[in-house]
Amino acid sequence: MIQDILNVREKLKELSSDNKKGLTEEFRSFLIKSPQDFNNLYKELENIPADPIREAYSFDDATSLELNRVSSELKDSGISVWPKFYSKEKISALKNLANKCLNNAQTWLKSASDEFSIHKDNELGCEHMGSKDSLRTGRTRTRFLSKRSEHNNSPVNELFSDLRINQVGRLLYDAHAFKSYFLFERLVPSNISDSWHIDGILDQYKAMILLEDVSEKQGPMFFKPNSKSLLDNKLKPLLYTTFAHGRNWGCYPYKSIIDDLGIQTFKCTGTAGDAIFFDTLNLHRGSICKSGQRLGIVAYLGVETARNQVLRFLGVE
């Protein structure tokens, strides 16, 4: 059965929708009954090469060196900082847009339901995300989705057309990388912090672009470097549990497990314009904002690895 699952990529184009659905249910049922088989499959998928990248990107020598440095550090520790990724002028334009979007989002949140929901902002072309609870946690979010048609905001179009962000993923996974959306986020003082988590079990990376200087007082992201390597050991339960029960159930390890890892926390402070690239299979969390605010943009990126293609077929999001 495992070999049949490994070979499913080659058959996808030939299968009808009904046949795909039947195979998904059959394979998923088998793996849910056997955590060990799922863990073995997950590991084996890492060794299957992705489809060849069809079109190469071109960069100047200085940019190529920086791209190689960032991708190399990501492979080693799961995180890398690219200083001055954007100029002061571009950051100023993005900051103005972020504040407009997030102010609208905050107004919407005041009348939002208690359940998580998404509200389209036709004026600015973004989507506000959250619930009334978002106000309590001090976190306001809105996003611009990747679309073929251009956005009305030129700063957003420039974000989507910045191939440096994609190239980091190409070098990291040796696979095609694509932008899903850009999330604009504001964090203000509250008594609530995020919990340690991974974002899911798909191969994925993000780029967090700071729109203002961030010290420890502004609630920087906390990150456990190279904790991804422990998914074969102390963190292995996260893989199967997330597969069988979903991200909300499986991606958050017990605090006692985190304490036993012995990994020093990297605090993602920095200067406006810096970009922090990180692999989301490493443990991370938001910290408490004690004063001021943390304002930034997070690029959500997907990659077409063999593992992702098979896991999506199996119903993983």
Interval 144-196: pLDDT, tens: 997 645 567 788 889 999 999 999 999 999 999 999 999 999 999 998 888 99
Q: CB count, 10 Å around CB of 186?
A: 23
Question: Can you give the pLDDT at residue 18?
Answer: 85
Angle separating helix axes 61-77 and 163-173, nearest 10 degrees: 50
**Which of helix, strand or coil describes residue 17?**
helix
Binned at pLDDT 50, 70 and 90, residue 208 comes out as: very high
pTM score of the predicted model: 0.94
Helical segments of the chain, H only: 2-6, 17-32, 35-45, 61-77, 88-109, 132-137, 154-160, 163-173, 237-245, 247-250, 255-261, 306-313
Question: Can you give the pLDDT at residue 11?
Answer: 80
Q: How far is CA 200 from the centre of its chain?
A: 9
Tokens of 104: 């609208």
Q: How far is CA 174 from the centre of its chain?
A: 18
Question: Can you give the pLDDT at residue 287?
Answer: 94
Question: Can you give the pLDDT at residue 247?
Answer: 81
Question: Can you give the pLDDT at residue 150?
Answer: 59
Tokens of 186: 């504001």
DSSP assignment of 279-294, as one string? ETTS-EEE----SS-E
d(CA 57, CA 55) in angstroms, rounded, equals 7
User: What are the pLDDT digits (tens) for 14-49?
Assistant: 888 888 899 999 999 999 999 999 999 999 999 999
pLDDT surpasses 70 at 143 = yes
CA torsion, ordered 163, 169, 173, 175, to nearest 10 deg: -40
Q: How far is CA 207 from CA 62, 79, 182, 189, 313, in A?
A: 20, 10, 9, 23, 26
User: What are the pLDDT digits (tens) for 228-281?
Assistant: 999 988 998 899 999 999 887 779 998 888 988 999 999 999 999 999 999 999
Which domains does the chain carry?
A: 53-304 (2.60.120.620)
d(CA 89, CA 71) in angstroms, rounded, equals 26
Q: How far is CA 192 from the centre of its chain?
A: 21
Question: Can you give the pLDDT at residue 199?
Answer: 95
Q: How far is CA 229 from CA 127, 147, 199, 281, in A?
A: 35, 34, 15, 9
Tokens of 183: 């999330």
Hunting for tokens 């339901």 — which residue is that? 113
User: What are the pLDDT digits (tens) for 57-103?
Assistant: 999 999 999 999 999 999 999 999 999 999 999 999 999 999 999 99
d(CA 317, CA 311) in angstroms, rounded, equals 8
